[in-house]
Structure 1
Protein backbone atom coordinates (compact mmCIF):
# COMPACT_ATOMS: atom_id res chain seq x y z
CA UNK A 1 0.00 0.00 0.00
CA UNK A 2 1.23 3.47 -0.90
CA UNK A 3 0.35 6.26 1.52
CA UNK A 4 1.18 9.95 1.47
CA UNK A 5 1.46 11.96 4.67
CA UNK A 6 0.34 15.56 4.61
CA UNK A 7 1.72 17.36 7.65
CA UNK A 8 -0.05 20.52 8.76
CA UNK A 9 3.09 22.17 10.07
CA UNK A 10 5.92 23.56 7.98
CA UNK A 11 8.27 24.19 10.91
CA UNK A 12 11.59 22.38 10.43
CA UNK A 13 11.52 20.88 13.95
CA UNK A 14 7.77 20.23 13.95
CA UNK A 15 6.65 17.51 16.33
CA UNK A 16 4.07 16.49 13.75
CA UNK A 17 6.75 16.10 11.10
CA UNK A 18 8.72 14.01 13.59
CA UNK A 19 5.63 11.90 14.18
CA UNK A 20 5.17 11.39 10.43
CA UNK A 21 8.83 10.37 10.06
CA UNK A 22 8.49 8.00 13.01
CA UNK A 23 5.45 6.37 11.39
CA UNK A 24 7.32 6.19 8.07
CA UNK A 25 10.23 4.37 9.69
CA UNK A 26 8.38 2.15 12.17
CA UNK A 27 5.83 0.79 9.70
CA UNK A 28 7.95 0.60 6.57
CA UNK A 29 7.28 -3.15 6.38
CA UNK A 30 3.51 -2.51 6.37
CA UNK A 31 3.20 0.32 3.83
CA UNK A 32 5.24 2.80 1.83
CA UNK A 33 4.87 6.31 3.23
CA UNK A 34 5.93 9.44 1.40
CA UNK A 35 5.81 12.70 3.34
CA UNK A 36 4.68 15.50 1.05
CA UNK A 37 5.98 19.05 1.34
CA UNK A 38 3.25 21.69 1.52
CA UNK A 39 5.63 24.55 2.33
CA UNK A 40 5.92 25.67 -1.30
CA UNK A 41 2.23 25.52 -2.19
CA UNK A 42 0.95 28.99 -3.07
CA UNK A 43 -2.26 30.26 -1.52
CA UNK A 44 -5.25 28.72 -3.25
CA UNK A 45 -6.43 31.09 -5.97
CA UNK A 46 -9.55 30.38 -7.97
CA UNK A 47 -8.18 32.56 -10.79
CA UNK A 48 -5.50 29.93 -11.51
CA UNK A 49 -7.18 26.72 -10.32
CA UNK A 50 -7.61 25.40 -13.88
CA UNK A 51 -3.94 25.92 -14.68
CA UNK A 52 -2.11 25.95 -11.35
CA UNK A 53 1.64 26.26 -10.85
CA UNK A 54 3.77 23.14 -11.38
CA UNK A 55 4.24 22.63 -7.62
CA UNK A 56 0.46 22.31 -7.22
CA UNK A 57 0.15 19.94 -10.19
CA UNK A 58 2.90 17.72 -8.76
CA UNK A 59 1.34 17.75 -5.30
CA UNK A 60 -2.10 16.82 -6.64
CA UNK A 61 -0.61 14.13 -8.86
CA UNK A 62 1.13 12.45 -5.92
CA UNK A 63 -2.08 12.41 -3.91
CA UNK A 64 -4.09 11.17 -6.89
CA UNK A 65 -1.70 8.25 -7.43
CA UNK A 66 -1.53 7.02 -3.86
CA UNK A 67 -3.76 4.52 -2.09
CA UNK A 68 -4.43 6.53 1.07
CA UNK A 69 -3.66 9.75 2.93
CA UNK A 70 -2.30 10.14 6.46
CA UNK A 71 -3.15 13.57 7.83
CA UNK A 72 -0.76 14.70 10.56
CA UNK A 73 -2.06 17.86 12.16
CA UNK A 74 -1.01 20.18 14.93
CA UNK A 75 -3.63 22.40 16.53
CA UNK A 76 -3.41 26.15 16.12
CA UNK A 77 -5.91 28.32 17.99
CA UNK A 78 -8.17 25.33 18.54
CA UNK A 79 -8.40 24.35 14.89
CA UNK A 80 -6.61 23.15 11.76
CA UNK A 81 -3.55 25.15 10.61
CA UNK A 82 -4.10 27.40 7.60
CA UNK A 83 -1.36 25.71 5.58
CA UNK A 84 -3.21 22.41 5.87
CA UNK A 85 -6.51 23.94 4.84
CA UNK A 86 -4.73 25.55 1.89
CA UNK A 87 -3.42 22.15 0.78
CA UNK A 88 -6.90 20.67 1.04
CA UNK A 89 -8.31 23.60 -0.96
CA UNK A 90 -5.97 22.75 -3.83
CA UNK A 91 -6.80 19.03 -3.58
CA UNK A 92 -10.55 19.64 -3.53
CA UNK A 93 -10.86 21.77 -6.65
CA UNK A 94 -11.12 20.95 -10.37
CA UNK A 95 -10.12 17.24 -10.48
CA UNK A 96 -10.93 16.70 -6.77
CA UNK A 97 -8.31 14.02 -6.12
CA UNK A 98 -9.42 13.24 -2.55
CA UNK A 99 -12.91 11.97 -3.38
CA UNK A 100 -13.06 8.35 -2.25
CA UNK A 101 -9.41 8.37 -1.08
CA UNK A 102 -9.18 6.57 2.30
CA UNK A 103 -7.71 8.69 5.10
CA UNK A 104 -6.65 8.54 8.71
CA UNK A 105 -5.60 11.26 11.11
CA UNK A 106 -2.95 11.60 13.79
CA UNK A 107 -1.71 14.69 15.57
CA UNK A 108 0.65 15.86 18.26
CA UNK A 109 0.89 18.91 20.46
CA UNK A 110 2.56 19.99 23.66
CA UNK A 111 -0.83 20.41 25.32
CA UNK A 112 -2.38 17.59 27.31
CA UNK A 113 -5.32 17.09 24.94
CA UNK A 114 -3.19 16.65 21.85
CA UNK A 115 -5.03 17.83 18.76
CA UNK A 116 -8.60 16.93 19.68
CA UNK A 117 -10.24 20.12 18.37
CA UNK A 118 -8.16 20.28 15.20
CA UNK A 119 -8.94 16.67 14.36
CA UNK A 120 -12.67 17.24 14.86
CA UNK A 121 -12.52 20.19 12.47
CA UNK A 122 -10.36 18.25 10.00
CA UNK A 123 -12.91 15.42 9.97
CA UNK A 124 -15.63 17.93 9.08
CA UNK A 125 -13.49 19.31 6.26
CA UNK A 126 -12.70 15.84 4.91
CA UNK A 127 -16.42 15.03 4.76
CA UNK A 128 -17.16 18.16 2.65
CA UNK A 129 -18.65 17.56 -0.79
CA UNK A 130 -15.53 18.47 -2.78
CA UNK A 131 -13.32 16.34 -0.54
CA UNK A 132 -15.37 13.26 0.45
CA UNK A 133 -12.43 11.30 1.83
CA UNK A 134 -13.60 8.27 3.84
CA UNK A 135 -11.99 8.20 7.28
CA UNK A 136 -10.97 5.37 9.56
CA UNK A 137 -13.62 5.62 12.30
CA UNK A 138 -12.92 5.36 16.03
CA UNK A 139 -9.12 5.31 15.89
CA UNK A 140 -8.14 8.85 16.78
CA UNK A 141 -4.50 9.37 17.68
CA UNK A 142 -4.01 12.42 19.91
CA UNK A 143 -0.42 12.63 21.12
CA UNK A 144 -0.55 15.12 23.98
CA UNK A 145 2.54 16.36 25.82
CA UNK A 146 4.52 15.21 22.79
CA UNK A 147 7.65 17.04 23.95
CA UNK A 148 7.81 14.53 26.82
CA UNK A 149 7.22 11.50 24.58
CA UNK A 150 9.91 11.81 21.91
CA UNK A 151 13.67 11.53 22.06
CA UNK A 152 16.28 13.72 20.32
CA UNK A 153 15.93 11.70 17.10
CA UNK A 154 12.15 12.16 17.04
CA UNK A 155 11.29 8.60 18.08
CA UNK A 156 8.25 8.05 20.25
CA UNK A 157 9.47 6.76 23.60
CA UNK A 158 6.17 6.62 25.46
CA UNK A 159 5.34 2.91 25.28
CA UNK A 160 1.54 3.22 25.73
CA UNK A 161 1.44 5.69 22.82
CA UNK A 162 3.58 3.39 20.66
CA UNK A 163 1.38 0.40 21.47
CA UNK A 164 -1.77 2.36 20.68
CA UNK A 165 -0.28 3.56 17.39
CA UNK A 166 0.56 -0.06 16.52
CA UNK A 167 -3.09 -0.99 17.02
CA UNK A 168 -4.34 1.96 14.97
CA UNK A 169 -1.97 1.17 12.09
CA UNK A 170 -3.19 -2.44 12.03
CA UNK A 171 -6.80 -1.23 12.21
CA UNK A 172 -6.19 1.15 9.31
CA UNK A 173 -4.69 -1.58 7.14
CA UNK A 174 -7.61 -3.93 7.89
CA UNK A 175 -10.15 -1.16 7.25
CA UNK A 176 -8.37 -0.09 4.06
CA UNK A 177 -8.34 -3.66 2.71
CA UNK A 178 -12.02 -4.08 3.52
CA UNK A 179 -12.86 -0.67 2.03
CA UNK A 180 -11.04 -1.49 -1.22
CA UNK A 181 -12.45 -4.92 -1.99
Structure 2
Protein backbone atom coordinates (compact mmCIF):
# COMPACT_ATOMS: atom_id res chain seq x y z
CA UNK A 1 0.00 0.00 0.00
CA UNK A 2 1.26 3.47 -0.91
CA UNK A 3 0.51 6.39 1.40
CA UNK A 4 1.62 9.99 1.02
CA UNK A 5 2.04 12.24 4.03
CA UNK A 6 1.30 15.92 3.75
CA UNK A 7 2.87 17.81 6.64
CA UNK A 8 1.38 21.24 7.28
CA UNK A 9 4.64 22.74 8.44
CA UNK A 10 7.69 23.71 6.43
CA UNK A 11 9.80 24.46 9.52
CA UNK A 12 13.08 22.52 9.52
CA UNK A 13 12.66 21.25 13.10
CA UNK A 14 8.90 20.68 12.85
CA UNK A 15 7.50 18.20 15.36
CA UNK A 16 4.89 17.30 12.77
CA UNK A 17 7.57 16.39 10.26
CA UNK A 18 9.31 14.34 12.96
CA UNK A 19 6.01 12.58 13.66
CA UNK A 20 5.52 11.77 9.96
CA UNK A 21 9.13 10.56 9.75
CA UNK A 22 8.55 8.29 12.76
CA UNK A 23 5.41 6.81 11.17
CA UNK A 24 7.35 6.28 7.95
CA UNK A 25 10.31 4.53 9.55
CA UNK A 26 8.42 2.63 12.24
CA UNK A 27 5.94 1.16 9.74
CA UNK A 28 8.15 0.56 6.71
CA UNK A 29 7.24 -3.12 6.82
CA UNK A 30 3.49 -2.36 6.67
CA UNK A 31 3.19 0.29 3.94
CA UNK A 32 5.22 2.66 1.81
CA UNK A 33 5.01 6.25 3.07
CA UNK A 34 6.36 9.17 1.08
CA UNK A 35 6.47 12.53 2.83
CA UNK A 36 5.61 15.24 0.32
CA UNK A 37 7.20 18.66 0.55
CA UNK A 38 5.09 21.80 0.39
CA UNK A 39 8.13 24.09 0.09
CA UNK A 40 7.84 24.56 -3.67
CA UNK A 41 4.06 24.74 -3.98
CA UNK A 42 3.15 28.29 -5.09
CA UNK A 43 0.12 30.11 -3.79
CA UNK A 44 -3.06 28.86 -5.41
CA UNK A 45 -4.26 31.17 -8.17
CA UNK A 46 -7.37 30.41 -10.21
CA UNK A 47 -5.85 32.29 -13.15
CA UNK A 48 -3.26 29.51 -13.58
CA UNK A 49 -5.08 26.46 -12.24
CA UNK A 50 -5.51 24.96 -15.74
CA UNK A 51 -1.85 25.52 -16.53
CA UNK A 52 -0.40 24.83 -13.08
CA UNK A 53 3.33 24.99 -12.37
CA UNK A 54 5.27 21.72 -12.56
CA UNK A 55 5.67 21.56 -8.75
CA UNK A 56 1.88 21.50 -8.42
CA UNK A 57 1.46 18.91 -11.17
CA UNK A 58 4.05 16.65 -9.54
CA UNK A 59 2.45 17.10 -6.10
CA UNK A 60 -1.02 16.28 -7.42
CA UNK A 61 0.27 13.27 -9.36
CA UNK A 62 1.81 11.78 -6.21
CA UNK A 63 -1.40 12.29 -4.26
CA UNK A 64 -3.44 10.78 -7.08
CA UNK A 65 -1.18 7.71 -7.28
CA UNK A 66 -1.38 7.06 -3.53
CA UNK A 67 -3.88 4.73 -1.88
CA UNK A 68 -4.34 7.13 1.05
CA UNK A 69 -3.17 10.45 2.48
CA UNK A 70 -1.80 10.97 5.97
CA UNK A 71 -2.29 14.58 7.02
CA UNK A 72 0.07 15.72 9.78
CA UNK A 73 -0.85 19.20 10.90
CA UNK A 74 0.32 21.72 13.43
CA UNK A 75 -2.21 24.17 14.82
CA UNK A 76 -1.88 27.86 14.00
CA UNK A 77 -4.40 30.27 15.49
CA UNK A 78 -6.76 27.38 16.32
CA UNK A 79 -6.81 26.13 12.73
CA UNK A 80 -4.68 24.62 9.98
CA UNK A 81 -1.61 26.51 8.72
CA UNK A 82 -1.81 28.57 5.53
CA UNK A 83 0.69 26.36 3.72
CA UNK A 84 -1.60 23.36 4.29
CA UNK A 85 -4.71 25.26 3.20
CA UNK A 86 -2.88 26.31 0.04
CA UNK A 87 -1.95 22.70 -0.78
CA UNK A 88 -5.56 21.67 -0.22
CA UNK A 89 -6.76 24.42 -2.56
CA UNK A 90 -4.58 23.00 -5.35
CA UNK A 91 -5.79 19.45 -4.63
CA UNK A 92 -9.45 20.47 -4.74
CA UNK A 93 -9.36 22.13 -8.16
CA UNK A 94 -9.41 20.98 -11.81
CA UNK A 95 -8.81 17.19 -11.60
CA UNK A 96 -9.80 17.03 -7.88
CA UNK A 97 -7.44 14.18 -7.00
CA UNK A 98 -8.73 13.80 -3.43
CA UNK A 99 -12.30 12.74 -4.23
CA UNK A 100 -12.82 9.32 -2.67
CA UNK A 101 -9.20 9.10 -1.48
CA UNK A 102 -9.03 7.87 2.14
CA UNK A 103 -7.41 10.19 4.68
CA UNK A 104 -6.19 9.93 8.24
CA UNK A 105 -5.03 12.77 10.43
CA UNK A 106 -2.57 13.38 13.22
CA UNK A 107 -0.66 16.29 14.64
CA UNK A 108 1.82 17.41 17.25
CA UNK A 109 2.26 20.60 19.22
CA UNK A 110 3.97 21.86 22.32
CA UNK A 111 0.59 22.58 23.91
CA UNK A 112 -1.23 20.01 26.04
CA UNK A 113 -4.15 19.56 23.64
CA UNK A 114 -2.04 18.69 20.63
CA UNK A 115 -3.76 19.91 17.49
CA UNK A 116 -7.41 19.30 18.39
CA UNK A 117 -8.88 22.42 16.78
CA UNK A 118 -6.78 22.20 13.62
CA UNK A 119 -7.79 18.57 13.14
CA UNK A 120 -11.48 19.40 13.58
CA UNK A 121 -11.18 22.06 10.89
CA UNK A 122 -9.22 19.74 8.62
CA UNK A 123 -11.91 17.05 8.90
CA UNK A 124 -14.54 19.57 7.84
CA UNK A 125 -12.39 20.71 4.93
CA UNK A 126 -11.78 17.15 3.72
CA UNK A 127 -15.53 16.63 3.42
CA UNK A 128 -15.89 19.70 1.16
CA UNK A 129 -17.29 19.23 -2.34
CA UNK A 130 -13.97 19.48 -4.20
CA UNK A 131 -12.29 17.02 -1.83
CA UNK A 132 -14.82 14.39 -0.71
CA UNK A 133 -12.24 12.38 1.20
CA UNK A 134 -13.39 9.69 3.65
CA UNK A 135 -11.55 10.16 6.96
CA UNK A 136 -10.59 7.45 9.45
CA UNK A 137 -12.76 8.24 12.47
CA UNK A 138 -12.17 7.48 16.13
CA UNK A 139 -8.40 7.29 15.79
CA UNK A 140 -7.40 10.87 16.41
CA UNK A 141 -3.71 11.37 17.17
CA UNK A 142 -3.06 14.52 19.20
CA UNK A 143 0.55 14.54 20.33
CA UNK A 144 0.61 17.20 23.04
CA UNK A 145 3.78 18.42 24.76
CA UNK A 146 5.68 17.21 21.70
CA UNK A 147 8.88 18.87 22.86
CA UNK A 148 9.03 16.29 25.69
CA UNK A 149 8.33 13.27 23.47
CA UNK A 150 11.11 13.56 20.90
CA UNK A 151 14.83 13.31 21.62
CA UNK A 152 17.51 15.66 20.28
CA UNK A 153 17.85 13.56 17.10
CA UNK A 154 14.12 13.82 16.38
CA UNK A 155 13.19 10.29 17.48
CA UNK A 156 9.84 9.71 19.15
CA UNK A 157 10.79 8.32 22.56
CA UNK A 158 7.53 8.43 24.51
CA UNK A 159 6.50 4.78 24.97
CA UNK A 160 2.80 5.53 25.48
CA UNK A 161 2.65 7.58 22.30
CA UNK A 162 4.44 4.88 20.32
CA UNK A 163 2.01 2.21 21.56
CA UNK A 164 -0.97 4.40 20.74
CA UNK A 165 0.37 5.10 17.24
CA UNK A 166 0.85 1.37 16.73
CA UNK A 167 -2.84 0.80 17.52
CA UNK A 168 -3.92 3.61 15.19
CA UNK A 169 -1.78 2.18 12.37
CA UNK A 170 -3.38 -1.23 12.90
CA UNK A 171 -6.83 0.36 12.75
CA UNK A 172 -5.84 2.27 9.61
CA UNK A 173 -4.60 -0.91 7.94
CA UNK A 174 -7.87 -2.70 8.72
CA UNK A 175 -9.93 0.31 7.52
CA UNK A 176 -7.99 0.48 4.26
CA UNK A 177 -9.13 -3.05 3.39
CA UNK A 178 -12.42 -1.36 2.44
CA UNK A 179 -10.66 0.77 -0.18
CA UNK A 180 -7.98 -1.37 -1.80
Q: Classify the TM-score, shorter chain.
A: over 0.9
Runs of 4+ in 1 over 6 A off after TM superposition: none
Alignment of 1:1-181 (within 5 A): 1-177=1-177, 179-180=178-179
3-state SS of the aligned residue for 2:69? Answer: strand
Q: Which runs of 5 or more structure 2 residues have no equivalent in the other structure?
A: none
Aligned CA RMSD, in angstroms, stands at: 0.7
How many residue pairs get aligned? The number is: 180
Which deviates the most, 152-161 or 21-30? 152-161
Q: How far apart in 2 are the matches of 1:94 and 1:47?
A: 12
Aligned-residue offset at 1:167: 0.2
Which deviates the most, 152-161 or 14-23? 152-161
Aligned-residue offset at 1:82: 0.5
Q: How far apart in 2 are the matches of 1:49 and 1:112?
A: 39
Aligned-residue offset at 1:105: 0.3
TM-score, normalised via structure 2 length:
0.99
TM-score, normalised via structure 1 length:
0.98
3-state SS of the aligned residue for 2:41? Answer: coil
Aligned-residue offset at 1:154: 1.4
Q: How far apart in 2 are the matches of 1:132 and 1:152?
A: 39
Q: How far apart in 2 are the matches of 1:69 and 1:57?
A: 17
3-state SS of the aligned residue for 1:55? Answer: helix
| Cα displacement string for residues 92-141 of structure 1 (whole angstroms, at most 9, x for unaligned residues) | 00000000001100100000000000000000000001001100010000
Q: Which runs of 5 or more structure 1 residues have no equivalent in the other structure?
A: none
Aligned-residue offset at 1:155: 1.4
